Structure 1
Amino acid sequence: MGSAFFEMNIATTGLFAAQRGLAVTSNNINNAATKGYSRQVLDQRASSAMPGYGRGMIGTGVDTTQVRRVRDSYLDQKMWGQKPALGEYKIKAEQNSIIESVFGEPSDTGFTKVFDDFFTAIDNLSKLPSEGERQEALRQMSISFTKYYNSAAQKLTEYQRDLNFEMKAKVEEINNLVTRITSLNDQIYRAELNGDIANTLRDDRELCVDRLSQIVNIDAKEVDVTRPDGKVDKQFQIKLNGQVLVDGTYGRLLKVSARTEGQKKNPEDADGLYDIKWEDGLPFYMDDKDLSGELKGIIDMRDGRGSSSFTMNGEQQDPSITYKGIPYYINKLDQFVQTFAKSMNDVYNQAGTDGGQVYTDLTLDDGTIIKIPKHALFSYTEGNGKTPVSIENMLLKDAKGDIIVDPVTGAAQIDYSKMTAKQFSVSDTVYEGASNIRTNFEHDPVDGSNPNPSSNDLLLALGAQKNNNKMFKDGDPKDFMISMFSELGINAKEAAMYQKTQKNVTTTIENQRLSVSQVDPNEEFINLVKYNQAYQAAAKVLTTMDGIYETTIFKLGNW
């Protein structure tokens, strides 16, 4: 009778093991489409055998030891190491493509179109210099030409602001993920105090780390920590670019703060751009060359000015971010309008083909009379951003605000460093009326009028500037812009290439990871059959032993 009870106990362990196997299999099938879920397997082993005292040890059934998730931590580490580059170049590919759309090349609204239309209008007027319609056409084409640069620079500034808010959103996402991970660390610790493995919680945590690793480069690992009582606990830690981000249940958060005017990184920056800092007050190094991820892509595109040094607050400075981002292209546009406007204005203000300049007298507040350029084709706007400033407000001044005058000629110069693509415009005289456009070098020394309005020598000289290959280091005006477009195109293709490469790498790693952790429906269906048969077999043993038990007690006992 003791033997019968013993065998029923063995059958019972098999029954419970099969039942638990069916539960694990059912859970796998139901989570086959759950993102980040790792398939689970039931580990079991033979129970400790009873000694047979020379007749052979007797098995006591089966024990289920744990429900284990199938996960390769090495593949996780590989994925977390590759995702930052994917995130960085994903942002750069997208943003460089957006910048390309700003310039509209090639299109009917792009640089080539407005540039050619401007010089075509000059050429048309040169054929009939006194025709009012052609004068107005040149005025309109000049305005359209300046508005192209106004619009391009303004759009780039808007995109910079968009990136600024996106950077803030990324910081908030990092903080949310850190908070979530520390909460999961606490839940995992509590769930595993009694020796269980918190499979689902660990899956959730690694899903968070997957996303975090694409936003910023991290080093995540689980380390053994010895408690004062000598017990060893596992503690999950994350470092962000070498700085502690998560340590068990402790999470370190970031914050953003708006820059003041004196804190600008580049002269071209929009107002109020954010800097990233640690909430505990320690600095976060945004310009660290080892930083990567989506956050790095945003920082490079928002703050990158290339390698050209610049002057800010009266001091020569080097850019902190040397990637060619939005400030770089705004700076290139500023360089173009400054150089182009100076070249065109120098020709437009000539008194003759020998290059002599036309000056007018300007009386200063102290009564001093100085000479200033009389004519300008291009100017810039201030204040309301619509009306061009007069020539006297464009003059070169010293740090005290006094006009700088050449001691030999007694003449002042236009300060083209104040001119930006965003404020680029036609001059106030041209803006007021097309009939004010000069067409020849001759002029009345008193009122500046043209005694010979049918002459076109000035227009021909202006038209020749289209192919002036000495205007820029890159060649003529179109060469300068084409060079900038080429740089942008190269950067866009490079970013897209790196993004594609990293996408292939991470896809390969993800496929390797899925081959280990993903639920295979066919395998689970086999497990269903296996555990179902095991359950039925164990139940059959119980039924058989029940029959034996009944015969032993009720029938043999009557003898």
Structure 2
Amino acid sequence: MASTFAGLSISTRGLFTSAAALAVTNNNISNANTVGYSRQVVNQQAVGPAAVYNGNYVGSGSEVTSVTNIHNFRLDQKYWRETGQLGELQTKSDMLSQVEAVIGDTDDDSLSAVMEDFYASMEDFASDPTSSATRAAMKEAGVAVCEYLNTVSAQLSQLKEDSNSEVQTAVDQINAYATQIAELNTKIRIATAAGSSTNELEDQRTLLIDQLSSLADVEVTQTVVGKLPNGADDVQISVSISGETLVSNDQAKQLECYENEEGMYSIRWQDTGTDFEPEGGQLKAYFDLRDGDGTGSQYKGITYYSNLLDQFASTFAEAFNTVHSSGYGLDGSTGVDFFAASDSAASITAANISLSAEVLADTDKIAASSSADGGTDNNENMNALIELCEESKLFGNSTAGDFINSIVSTLGTASEHAQTMTSKQSSFVTNIDTRRQSVSGVSINEETANLTKYEAAYNASAQMISVWQEIYQTTINMVNTD
């Protein structure tokens, strides 16, 4: 038969079990809006009869065996993998939008508009080649072209420097996350061995991996490598980026940046000195945007568009100078270049293109005439320059205007594609995260229902204690009466 005080013991166990469940429910509700928090549940089991061999078939109530957090590791893995791709796409989309803002399109602040003003000044010059006003206007229009190219080139260089700086920032963040994850692995292992709860520690680790996954392509594995002294599974967590181990249980490797031959950051492992090349995440995007020159299968990044502007500046200036230097200025001078490199470099680029010192100093040096004795109204060389600007073979099979439009069109298409892919990937990641939250997130409605359920169980156990007290009191009174 059951122990004399078995009923009170069972009721007391029920009281403690319900109280623990109420506490966990309260904790869930309190953390409903805590980022990274996973819903916790009480695991309880029935306690068997204390002495079956004595004919006791009544159970001994219930007990709490553990409090665990709920999450789906497979969904976590999928989320981390897709977040890395989103980080790469989002970074490229944002930077290409900035490149678009720098280069412009067909508005008044674009290269096309500046060149159109330059062509118009040439037309006015051709109609009145002796006018100091038209000569001054053409000079200023030429200066505007050079300044526009100089400014855009400088801004693109700054964007490239920004991407380079982001490489260092991302590496610092990755190192910090790796160190913290390794430290949490140690704390979790110690707490598990001691039989303590590791729920909050595991949530912190998951949140760190969430943040890490946007920086690089992350792969996380968990492996049971044995048993801890208390019999619990010894679970080892490893984190890899770009196929190389970053964190192995309590050990974290570190990355470092160093300047390469171009004066830009490259990355290597601190312990081995082996170069590291990111294969995903924001870090890969920074490299693609910074270095991608579009050759072969390379990404068309900032370098690609900078090279196109340099090609435009050098090709146009060289062709323009060839025709211009063959003509004659109002003062009879010849062999004068219209464009030059401001830093006396061997070749003209978008960064250094300028009007020649001769033209800047004296607009009479602008060669409109085709001969020294052609007369003051001779505009044949200026007409030749105008025809040059309309030459369909100036840039392969394109005019200068077509070449500019192709740059803008290529950039616009790439930016739009990046935005579209980012939007699709963002929706995909959101869908995965919604599924994660449906498993591990806190539902206020569900917790409210649990609150009612566990409160009712607690009250019922308390009532049972009162009932058993009355029974014991009645029994004691009966004994005392006898």
Tell me the distance in 1 between the aligned counterparts of 2:2 and 2:389.
109
The C-alpha deviation readout for 1:65-110, integer Å capped at 9, x for no partner, is 1112111111111111211110001011001110011112132121
The C-alpha deviation readout for 1:36-76, integer Å capped at 9, x for no partner, is 11111111111012455697721111011111211111111
Tell me the distance in 2 between the aligned counterparts of 1:62 and 1:507.
40
Give the counterpart letter for 1:380 in structure 2. A
1:279 to 255, 270, 280: 270
1:233–1:41: structure 2 CA closer, same or farther, 3 Å change rule?
same
1:434 to 351, 363, 378: 363
Give the counterpart letter for 1:462 in structure 2. L
Shift of 1:276: 1.3
Tell me the distance in 2 between the aligned counterparts of 1:510 and 1:230.
35
Q: Say if 1:439 and 1:458, in contact at 8 Å, map to a contact too.
A: yes
Tell me the distance in 2 between the aligned counterparts of 1:58 and 1:487.
80
Q: Say if 1:439 and 1:453, in contact at 8 Å, map to a contact too.
A: no
1:210-221 equivalences in 2 (<5 Å): 210-221=210-221
Q: Say if 1:474 and 1:480, in contact at 8 Å, map to a contact too.
A: no
Q: Say if 1:121 and 1:137, in contact at 8 Å, map to a contact too.
A: yes
Give the counterpart letter for 2:308 in structure 1. K
Structure-1 residue corresponding to 2:419: 496
Structure-1 residue corresponding to 2:435: 512
List gaps (5 residues or longer) in structure 1: 265-271, 309-320, 353-359, 361-372, 383-388, 395-414, 444-449
Structure-1 residue corresponding to 2:280: 292
Structure-2 residue corresponding to 1:404: none
1:351–1:536: structure 2 CA closer, same or farther, 3 Å change rule?
closer
Give the counterpart letter for 2:267 in structure 1. I
Structure-2 residue corresponding to 1:304: 292
Tell me the distance in 2 between the aligned counterparts of 1:222 and 1:431.
70
Structure-2 residue corresponding to 1:357: none
Structure-1 residue corresponding to 2:201: 201
Shift of 1:474: 4.4
Q: Say if 1:474 and 1:483, in contact at 8 Å, map to a contact too.
A: no
Tell me the distance in 2 between the aligned counterparts of 1:481 and 1:474.
13
1:337-416 equivalences in 2 (<5 Å): 337-350=313-326, 374-382=335-343, 389=344
The C-alpha deviation readout for 1:198-229, integer Å capped at 9, x for no partner, is 11111110111111111100111111224799
Indicate the SS of the match to 1:483: helix
> 1:421 aligned to 2:350?
yes
Give the counterpart letter for 2:157 in structure 1. T
Structure-1 residue corresponding to 2:237: 236
Tell me the distance in 1 between the aligned counterparts of 2:119 and 2:52.
108
1:229–1:54: structure 2 CA closer, same or farther, 3 Å change rule?
closer
Structure-2 residue corresponding to 1:313: none
1:476-495 equivalences in 2 (<5 Å): 476-495=399-418
Structure-2 residue corresponding to 1:122: 122
Higher mean C-alpha deviation, range 221-230 or range 22-31: 221-230
Tell me the distance in 1 between the aligned counterparts of 2:351 and 2:148.
9
Give the counterpart letter for 1:304 in structure 2. G
Q: Say if 2:257 and 2:267, in contact at 8 Å, map to a contact too.
A: yes
Give the fraction of aligned pairs with identical amino acids, expressed as a percent.
32
Structure-2 residue corresponding to 1:256: 257
Q: Say if 1:237 and 1:246, in contact at 8 Å, map to a contact too.
A: yes
Indicate the SS of the match to 2:256: strand
1:76-115 equivalences in 2 (<5 Å): 76-115=76-115
The C-alpha deviation readout for 1:296-320, integer Å capped at 9, x for no partner, is 1111001111107xxxxxxxxxxxx
1:156–1:42: structure 2 CA closer, same or farther, 3 Å change rule?
same
Structure-2 residue corresponding to 1:552: 475
Tell me the distance in 2 between the aligned counterparts of 1:18 and 1:226.
34
> 1:329 aligned to 2:252?
no
Higher mean C-alpha deviation, range 161-170 or range 131-140: 161-170
The C-alpha deviation readout for 1:442-483, integer Å capped at 9, x for no partner, is 12xxxxxx6622211111111112210011124000111111
The C-alpha deviation readout for 1:141-190, integer Å capped at 9, x for no partner, is 00101111111111000111111111111111111111111111111111
Q: Say if 1:4 and 1:545, in contact at 8 Å, map to a contact too.
A: no
Tell me the distance in 1 between the aligned counterparts of 2:80 and 2:300.
27
Structure-2 residue corresponding to 1:45: 45
Structure-1 residue corresponding to 2:384: 461
* RMSD value, Cα: 2.2
Shift of 1:551: 2.0
Indicate the SS of the match to 1:215: coil
The C-alpha deviation readout for 1:278-301, integer Å capped at 9, x for no partner, is 111432333x6xx01011111100
Tell me the distance in 2 between the aligned counterparts of 1:6 and 1:483.
88
Q: Say if 1:306 and 1:323, in contact at 8 Å, map to a contact too.
A: yes
Indicate the SS of the match to 2:326: coil
1:546–1:531: structure 2 CA closer, same or farther, 3 Å change rule?
same
Shift of 1:504: 1.1
Tell me the distance in 1 between the aligned counterparts of 2:397 and 2:72.
54
Tell me the distance in 2 between the aligned counterparts of 1:485 and 1:63.
70
Structure-2 residue corresponding to 1:267: none
Tell me the distance in 1 between the aligned counterparts of 2:4 and 2:341.
103
Tell me the distance in 1 between the aligned counterparts of 2:10 and 2:199.
29
The structure in which a higher percent of residues are helix is 2
Tell me the distance in 2 between the aligned counterparts of 1:230 and 1:171.
38
Shift of 1:273: 1.9
Give the counterpart letter for 1:421 in structure 2. A
Indicate the SS of the match to 1:298: helix
List gaps (5 residues or longer) in structure 2: none
Tell me the distance in 2 between the aligned counterparts of 1:466 and 1:351.
16
The TM-score normalised by the length of structure 2 is: 0.94
Shift of 1:375: 1.8
Give the counterpart letter for 1:245 in structure 2. L
